[in-house]
Amino acid sequence: MRKQENMWWKNLAINLLVGSLFLITGCEFIKMKGEQASDEVSRVPVARVNDTYLYKDELNGIVTLGVSKEDSAIRIESYINSWIRKQLLIQEAAKKININEAEVERKILDYRFSLIAYEYQSFFVKQNLDTVVSNSQIESYYKENIDNFILKQNIVQATFMKVPKTAPRTNKIKDLIFSRKEKDEKELKSYCLSFSTVYHLSDSTWMVFDELVKNSPLVEIPNKIQFLKAYPYYETSDDGYLYFLKVVKYRISDNISPLEFVKDDIRNIILNKRKVELAKKLEDDVYNNAASEKEFEVFK
């Protein structure tokens, strides 16, 4: 039982030490070697937990420009209270277990370096990223990776309307939906704007079928694949509403997704690949430049 308790305290301490690094800058075991006690005499303390102090200068950056005095005070108070709680738990954990301070300091440095590198890489990528993705690039990626674009859900190009039973001229809706006359299309859109609770008028946009008909009786259809194959047009109702569905095109799950449906996803994939490549290029360029200038050396 004692062993389990010690293991629990050890896990708690490690999680606190690694996951809350930004809150423990005042803890003594992370002070830089060679720091003189006289340096702290001139610093203004704002909180103390036993022999560990949080200083005023360590609050820099918590409050950003444009924040009101009231919000600034709340943020600072919250930070101080959080710091105190973390310090109390850390110091309690230190009483229960032996902490490898060298290992903790290495993790802190790794974490610090990772944060700085990430900030610089993000800045570099933002400055240099080509955000233009052409249709031909999207199409090429789609064709080269088509097996990655298998539909997980049924999708449709369709018209869907949810109309209160009390709405006028509901007997005319079907004719308007099927009409190809421009004046009827305008009338249908005007009707939807005036009376429909939910509507989507058919265009080239692919939509997930379940998302299109959510909050309607059509959601309860047991075999939606069979339904889509059998009913290009369907009407139903519940206590308060009439529902109209006209399916122009459909693709069922486990088939290849149409390009239009995954176009935005592919654009994001291409941009993310560019970001990764830029970050890697930055790292390689910095290393190679430093090597050519003999800015680092490994001693054997």
Are residues 30 and 124 located together in one domain of the fold?
yes
pTM higher than 0.75: no
Are residues 163 and 215 located together in one domain of the fold?
yes
Are residues 117 and 43 located together in one domain of the fold?
yes
Are residues 58 and 96 located together in one domain of the fold?
yes
278 assigned to some structural domain = no
57 assigned to some structural domain = yes
Tokens for 249, please give them: 């095109």
Are residues 121 and 6 located together in one domain of the fold?
yes
Residue 187 CB coordination number (10 Å): 15
Tokens for 142, please give them: 């789609």
pLDDT tens digits, 53-89? 999 999 888 888 888 888 889 999 999 999 999 999 9
**Span 203-229, average pLDDT:** 94
264 assigned to some structural domain = no
Between residues 2 and 226, which one has the greater pLDDT?
226
Between residues 6 and 188, which one has the greater pLDDT?
188
Tokens for 254, please give them: 């486990």
pLDDT for the residue numbered 100? 83
Q: Tokens 């102090």 label which residue?
A: 53
Which of 212, 248, 208, 210 is closest to 232 using CA atoms?
248
Tokens for 244, please give them: 């109209």
Are residues 167 and 237 located together in one domain of the fold?
yes
274 assigned to some structural domain = no
DSSP state at residue 48: E
- Counting other chains too, the contacts that 26-34 makes at CB distance below 8 Å and 24 or more residues apart are 26/52, 26/53, 26/54, 26/55, 26/58, 26/83, 26/87, 27/52, 27/87, 27/90, 28/52, 29/99, 29/101, 29/104, 29/105, 30/104, 30/105, 30/108
214 assigned to some structural domain = yes
pLDDT tens digits, 253-273? 999 999 999 999 999 999 999
Which of 75, 247, 250 is closest to 151 using CA atoms?
250
Domain endpoint, select from 229, 251, 273: 251
CA 179/CA 176 separation, integer angstroms: 5
Q: What range defines the domain where residue 238 resides?
A: 151-251
Are residues 79 and 187 located together in one domain of the fold?
no
pLDDT tens digits, 146-180? 999 999 999 999 999 999 999 999 999 999 999 99
